[in-house]
Structures are given as structure tokens and as C-alpha cells.
Structure 1
């Protein structure tokens, strides 16, 4: 019985060296490509940024910093609780909704695991934060900075990718305009991956109507499961890449943009970022069954 987990971890051990070899090969290929006259001409024609629409705002406001922090906090807890829901076979506790602790459907209590209750609760906060973000970003015109408005974003994104992989960073200033690869990444996460995660998560949740046979046939739960977990991997890959590039392309300046809403090289942004990491680390360890039982008991009944 213990051989299967051992073999699984043994296979995963090869992932890291394989990724390092693949990345090294990609860097060497990008350096060779960049020396080719045709690629050099391509990069000169498409340096990496598209022109923003007239009236696009400059700078990153304070509300975006708060949105960024809350989004990171909720995503961290969503990923943790989602993995617990996926990997836990016998939950340590269950949550039962209702003032008296029971909501009955054909005589059976409607209960979910404590991990799923936590996952859905954080999901609700993340969705609420996202709605606020959508409203503000369109009301203030900041949508112009994360929604592509011209087709040249694609060749510019390819150019930026070659420049990144060749370790010869493109000249950029996120305070004024994101490069094309950033623009496409942010658009994909905000307007494609996030809505898909919500739609697939809703299909898998207890809130989905069970009696609608036609709707369930059109959108089967198996389809939602096949999409939901890979989406989590997309978010994890985006977070790792995003943090790595923030630190590698001018950490103090980038952190000031995101956390202090200022364009300079002071340590204010780093200090706020460090405090946010402390808060997120505390939230990670605080999300223990003992703490969750106490919180969940205020909204229903918790049983072992």
C-alpha cells in the first residue's frame, strides 16, 4: 500500500531537473535567435509595447494595491483549501447549514466537509473582491491598461518573450504602460481564467441545482472538474512567474508601483510587501481545523 505514494513522489523528483534543462535550452535557443538578423529586425520593429488609447491613466492608484493584496491573500487560501478538498478522503469535520444546524432534502441533512466550507467561503470573498475590481477598473478607465486594443500586441508579446528568455530584459515602465506579454497575461487571468474558475467551481459546488436535467446534461460536472484543477495550475504558474519577474526586473521600483503607488526606488513598497507576506503566512497557518471549526460554528453546526 505504501509503494504507490513512494513511486508518485519518485516520479515528481524528476520534474525539477527536467524543468531546469528545458529552461536552459530555451535560454540558449533565445540567445541564438536574437543574434539572427531577421529576429533582430523583428525586435526592432516590435520592441514590446503597444500604444495605449488616448486618455489612458498613468500610474497605479492606492485601490489597486489593496485589490492586489486581497486577491493574493484569497488566492493563497483558495489554493490551499482546494488542495485539501481534493486530497482529503475522510474529513475531520463537517459543516451543516441552518440556524438549527440542519437543512433537510428528502430527509437527509445537507452537509459538506469543513475544508469545502472554507473553500467556498473564501471563494465568495474572492468573487466579491473581483466584482469591486471590475466596477472600479471600468469606472476609472484603468481597463485600457489590461485589455488589448490592437492586433500588434501579439508580435510585441513574442518579441518580449524572446527578450526575456535571452536574459536581455526589454526596456519597460509598468508605471506608464505594461509590455505586451504582461498585458496579455493580465487580460487572460482577469477576464478568462478567473471567470472560468468561478463558473466551473459553481458547477461543482452544492449550490448548483441538482434537478435541472437538461442544464446538467449540457454542462456536466465532469467537464467542470476537467477544467477547474488545470486552472489552479495556471494560477500557480502565473503567480510564480509574476513574482520572479517582479524581483528580477527592479524589485524596489516594481514593489513601489504595486504597494505604495509611487514611482521611485525607495523601500516603502518593499516594507508593505513584507508586511503583506507576514499576514498571508499567518493566515495560512491560522487556517487550521481548530480555528475553522470555531468560525464555521457561527454560521451552522460543525460535527465530527
Structure 2
């Protein structure tokens, strides 16, 4: 934590669950922190500038104002994100578009705006992705697609700027936060499919990526997460079978009976067992 003292840090999504905890921890470690969020104000004692990260015209001046306030930039944490139900079998709608805008394009344009300052400081950028980037789940296609695309962006960025800017990706699983509310309201809760983990573990993983001697490429947030990521990458067929078995058990138990968006899966499950 002493390595964070005096570091100049910009955190997106600063008013969210991860953002508030992260801002508080960074502040307590002696870092100078500014947040960006749709809701301006104060997060854990940290000033938060208002900015709609989906607006291409709004991001560059907001990032410039944050960098000016900090006097430079050593670390950017792309934390802002949204979720929501989006079955892959249905055509993309506004829910899908918004997840792609916030989870991918907002991080892209924020990073692009911050790169000159990061390069000048030989700083780092951290992307908060999701375990679903490597282990996708049904009925949440937009989230998995947006986070996998975010990882692809980080990989390309690393090739371009990695000699001067460290690029890391952190892969949380589920953390209790409002990001899951719309999914639960649609009857598509991931309980029983994915396990909750404490927000403190996610923050610790981000801080590890920020303070390691060399910027790590990929950072899991739990021991189980490391296992799931290894399984998804090295034994994808086995990973698919495990997900299918878990989802089939939920269907058989009637857990998705009240979810209209799961109607196709319910019908195919019944047909397969007729």
C-alpha cells in the first residue's frame, strides 16, 4: 500500500459499489484520487466529476479536468460498468446497446483521452472486466460480449503502448451490487450459477495490479476465479459442459419458470427431455 502514496489516480464509475470502496482504499493509502461518474459529488471523500462516459464529446474535457486537478496521471482504473438480461437468441435491443457503450466504448474513449498523461508518467491502466469474459453464461450475452471485447481491447492496447504504460485486466465474479438488479427483476438471477464474492477482494486485486513491480496481464480476484479462468482457457469443452449441467439443473428445478426471456431455453429443455 505504501507504493500508492502520492500516486495520481482516476477512477471511473466512482459512485458505484466498486468505485466507492476503491476510492476510499486509495485515499487511505495516500493516493491523490479523482472520480468520474454520471453523478457528480463526493465518493468516500474523493471529488467526483460529472461525466456521461457514453458521450464522445464529454469524455476528453472531463479527463483533462481530472488530470489538471491531479497534476498528472499515474493510474487509470476503468471501473464503470452496467449489466442486464440479454439472451443471445433475441435481437439486440437498447439493453444490449447500452452495455456495449458503457462496458466497452466508454472505457476505450476514456483510456484514449488519458493516454498522453499516462505515457508521460509511465503509468498504468486497469480494466475491470468479469469472469464472464472468459466463462460466458446464458441469458446475459451482452454483458459477456462487452467484457470479452474489453479484454480484446486491453490486449491490443498492450501491444501498442505496453513499452510505456502497464495494462492489466481484473476479472471479478459476482459482487452484491445494483448492477444485478435488472437481471433479478427479470427472473434471471445468477444465484446457483455463479458465486458471490466480497467487494474487498476485487479492490485488493485492483490494488495488486496497480502496485506489482510489473503490471500483471490478467488478475483473478479469488482462488476459485483462477481455477475457472484456467478451465475456460485450457479446457473449454469441459467448462461448457459444467455450465450446461448447472443451467439444466436450474431449469429442471423451475428456477426460471417466471422469466419470459428464458422461454426459449425452457421449451428446448422440455423438448430434450420429452
TM-score by length of 1: 0.29
Higher relative contact order (CA 8 A, sep 6+): 1
Q: More strand by proportion, 1 or 2? A: 2
Task: Return the index of the structure with the highest Cα Rg.
Answer: 1
Q: More helix by proportion, 1 or 2? A: 1
